[in-house]
Every structure is written in C-alpha cells, then in structure tokens.
Amino acid sequence: MLTAIAAVSSNWGIGKNGDLLFNIPEDKKFFRRTTLDHTVIMGRKTLESLPGGKPFKDRNNIVLSRNMDFAPEGVTVCHDVREVLGIIKNEDAFVVGGGEIYRLMLPCCVKAIITKIDGDPEADAFFPDLDNAANWALTGQSEKYTYEGLTYRFCTYENIGNEVIK
C-alpha cells in the first residue's frame, strides 16, 4: 500500500530552489517516525536536496531518474513507475517527493498524509491540490499546533477514486 507524505503551504507549495519551504522540528520527527524502517520513494532532485545528497537512514530508498547512468550509493534507482511498483509489491511504502514524483505517483497512492502549514511563501514545486481533486477526500485532521509563529495541522486524505493503480 502506497502513501504520499508531504508538508505543504496553504496553496500546496512544497519547495523553492531545491529546498523545503518550512523547517518545523515536530514535523520532521513525525516524518521520521512514520517512514522509519519502510521504503521511501523519491525523485532524483529530492535525493540531491537531502543533507550531503545522502538517502534517508534506516529506510529503503528508491529514487526515480530517467538517467541510466545515475547510480548513487545506498539507493535503488528505478527508471519508471512500473519498476517501482514491481519492487514494492504489497509492502507499505511512502512517496516522499518532490513535486514531479507526487504528481506521477499519486494515482497509485491510497492515502496522503499532509502537514498543512498556514502561509504562502513563494514556491516553485507543488503537491497536487487535494482539496479540489475529485478522487480525494479529507478524512481526518489533528488540532492546530504552533511553532515560531507558524500554525499547522496533520491531515489525512484518502483516495476515493474507483481505482488505485497497482
């Protein structure tokens, strides 16, 4: 079962110039706790945005790239979605970004765990707007939390479309 996990601004922005828009320690802990010991799937640009360009520790990292020569240490490189789905089979795995990979893999996800942060900093990468997506419904949300003037909540969306691509 595939779940997307992301932190988004009010207009679903997720990044700018290869960086994240926000740095909320509790959200980072939540991401780590949720994905630990699981497979995470990301795009080549997101891998390169991680500290030292290194994969997430204690997780099985799958990276999507069209470049056949791309072979960084410590990750499994896939060149298309079918290859990813063939590896994860029925395992619980997480799509962790960025914008291109969320768009590509969302139809394969049953759930999206979204940290929604109030505010609209300029962004050049976006998560699809699930509030206006016919196939997706908000099924749960936490209370609001505050960190250094930022308010945010953890939300769960479910894919209510007829078919999740497997």
Ligand X SMILES: NC(=O)c1ccc[n+]([C@@H]2O[C@H](COP(=O)([O-])OP(=O)(O)OC[C@H]3O[C@@H](n4cnc5c(N)ncnc54)[C@H](OP(=O)(O)O)[C@@H]3O)[C@@H](O)[C@H]2O)c1
Q: Which of 24, 41, 64, 109 binds ligand X (CB under 6 A)?
A: 64
Provide the minimum distance between the beta carbon of 67 and ligand X in the complex, in angstroms, as a whole number: 4
How far is 104 from 127, CA to CA, in rounded Å? 11
25: left (phi over 0), alpha (psi -120 to 50) or beta: alpha
Q: Which of 62, 125, 130, 155 binds ligand X (CB under 6 A)?
A: 125
DSSP assignment of 111-144: EEEEEEES-----SEE---GGG-TTEEEEEE---
| Residue with Cβ nearer ligand X (43 or 159) | 43
H/E run at residue 64: strand 60-64
| 19 counts as binding ligand X under rule CB under 6 A | yes
| Residue with Cβ nearer ligand X (22 or 159) | 22
| 66 counts as binding ligand X under rule CB under 6 A | yes
What torsion, rounded to 10 degrees, do the Cα atoms 24, 26, 31, 32 define?
A: 120
H/E run at residue 101: helix 99-105
| Residue with Cβ nearer ligand X (41 or 162) | 41
| Residue with Cβ nearer ligand X (54 or 162) | 54
> In the numeric block, which tokens belong to residue 44?
């080549």
User: Please, which of residues 83-122 interact with ligand X by CB under 6 A?
Assistant: 96-101, 104
Provide the minimum distance between the beta carbon of 143 and ligand X in the complex, in angstroms, as a whole number: 21
Binding site for ligand X (CB under 6 A): 6-7, 14-15, 18-20, 42-46, 49, 64-67, 70, 79-80, 96-101, 104, 125
